[in-house]
Structures are given as C-alpha cells and as structure tokens.
Amino acid sequence: MTMPADAPPQSPFLSSDPQFDYWSAAHRLAYEQVDFALNSGLLFAAFTGDTGAGKTTVMRQAVALAQGRRLLGVLAPDDGLARAPARAILAAFGADPGPGDDDRQTARLARSLAEVRDAHGLATLVVDDAQALGPAALARLVALSGIEAAEGPLFRLMLVGRPEIEARLAAELPGVMGPLVRLEAMSREDTAGFVRHRMAVGGLAAPRFAAAALEAVHEATGGNPLRVNLLCLFCLDEAWERGVDTIDATLVRDCDVAPEAVLGPPDFAVRGLSVAVPA
C-alpha cells in the first residue's frame, strides 16, 4: 500500500501546543518534586535536565499552578540579570523599577519584598538557563535573595538549567542548601507512548511506526524528547518520499543523523501576581 500523492500533512512532531505534551513517568516525577519545592517552605532548589529533556513542559505546568498561591516571577540571564540584577528582579515580580542606579534599585527591592513577605509570605523567583550566569552574577543573585542573610530571606529561589549547574553550585555556593531535582530521560515504553501520543493528537494515522521502529527511535535518541521529535520528523518526511505507510527500524536508522539539539526561548514564563509591590 502506498501513500497518497498529494502534499504531506503538517507533522505532529513540530507543534509546541501543550495538547501535544506527553507526561512520561520521568516528567510526572519531576513535576511532583518541582511542585513541592515551589509550594513548600524551601528557600532554595535547583531543577536540571539535558537540553530537550522537557524542563519547559514541567515548569510551564508547575508555574501555572504556583502563581495562584504566591507572588512568583520568572526571568532568564538575558533579561538583564547580570547587568542590573535588582532592576531585573523587580521587573520579574511585576513592579516598575523606575529610575535609579543599582544601589537605589537594590534598596527598593529589599524594602518592597520585605513588605510583600510580611503581608503575603515570601515571593518565589524562578531563574531559567541558570547555567548561563557567570560566577559573580550567580553569587549576587543569591545575595539579593537573602537566603543566607542573618536578617532573613527576601524571596525563595529556584534555578532551572542544564546539569552542569549542579557542579557549579557545589563549588561556588557550598553554603546554599536545597533539593536538586533532575529530569531524567524517558524510558523505552514512554518513548513509544510519546510518539503514539503525538501521532494521535495530530490526527495522523499513517505512516505508522512499527514496534521495531519505536525501539530504534529510543535506541537512537536515548529517550530525549527533543531528539525523538526531530528523528520522527525526519522519518515521516522520508516515509512520504518513499511512498510507504509503515516506518520500520531500517528507515529509522537511515534517518538517524544525530541532529543538533536546538531549543527556542522558554514559553513557561509567567510574571508576578497582581500583588502591589510598594514604591
């Protein structure tokens, strides 16, 4: 049986729509741990995973729920965190930083978040791509949080990034204690479930992936969702070109060209709640 001669449908492995999200056992476990870290009394936590592992999927859900419970800000190093950290943090919490140098912004941050803390409890700041922070910027961020200060913390801190941030925390900030959540790769079974889920949500019945092909996808990608998406995208295109309605293991191996893992900007960013930050 051959494929139709007209143009192929849009691939389900291109969409970033949340309905295509597949919650593997690894993602569910990481979500539970991140959710606990965001909504407990913990002052510091780190969430790591390889590029393309699905950290954004987990954080998008966790942040969406946590924002209804507390003042929560999200930012990344390119939001000005290294250049003007106090200004960037105020903006992340939904406040207008206003004019002034770093010293003035730092004083305003301390005053504002102390008042928020006393009225509503500690705010929480999530920093994405934390591995991109230089040593000085990372130390400054921790200092501004007050989690090591004798007078008490101003906000909780969660760092999100690639696994290399783990060694840096141990070396550069040995006094900062908190849980480390690692997002592991998908299992063989979940890799197959991931592919079937995206095919089903996309309404694509053919070409289908044979059981051996799904095994080959897992072997080639190690269960990394981004690599699974890219490889399956190539497989669908190749199956269409060959005019076949079943993707077998040989076709998967033909398409396994070790694509470079490239992620776009995070799309889970949710700014602070409508809690007044004093001037």
**Angle, nearest 10°, between helix axes 211-221 and 188-201?**
110
| pTM recorded for the entire structure | 0.84
Locate the domains of the chain by residue range.
Answer: 25-183, 186-255
Q: pLDDT band at 275, cuts 50/70/90? A: very low
Q: pLDDT band at 216, cuts 50/70/90? A: very high
pLDDT at residue 7, as a whole number: 47
pLDDT digits (tens, 9 = 90+) for 163-192: 999 999 999 988 888 899 999 999 999 999
Tokens found for residue 214: 């799904």
Q: pLDDT band at 8, cuts 50/70/90? A: low
Architecture of the domain defined by 25-183: 3-Layer(aba) Sandwich (3.40)
pLDDT at residue 263, as a whole number: 38
* Residues in CB range of 275: below 8 A, 6 or more apart: 71, 94, 116, 120
What is the CATH code for 186-255? 1.10.8.60
pLDDT at residue 262, as a whole number: 38
Task: From 35, 43, 77, select the one nearest 265 (Cα to Cα).
Answer: 77
Q: Is the confidence at residue 30, as pLDDT, over 70?
A: yes
Q: pLDDT band at 278, cuts 50/70/90? A: very low
| Mean pLDDT confidence for 120-141 | 92
Tokens found for residue 217: 């996808």
Q: pLDDT band at 9, cuts 50/70/90? A: low
Query: What percentage of the chain carries pLDDT values higher than 90?
Result: 56
82/218 Cα distance (integer angstroms): 39
pLDDT at residue 264, as a whole number: 43
Q: Is the confidence at residue 70, as pLDDT, over 60?
A: yes
Provide the mean pLDDT of the chain: 85
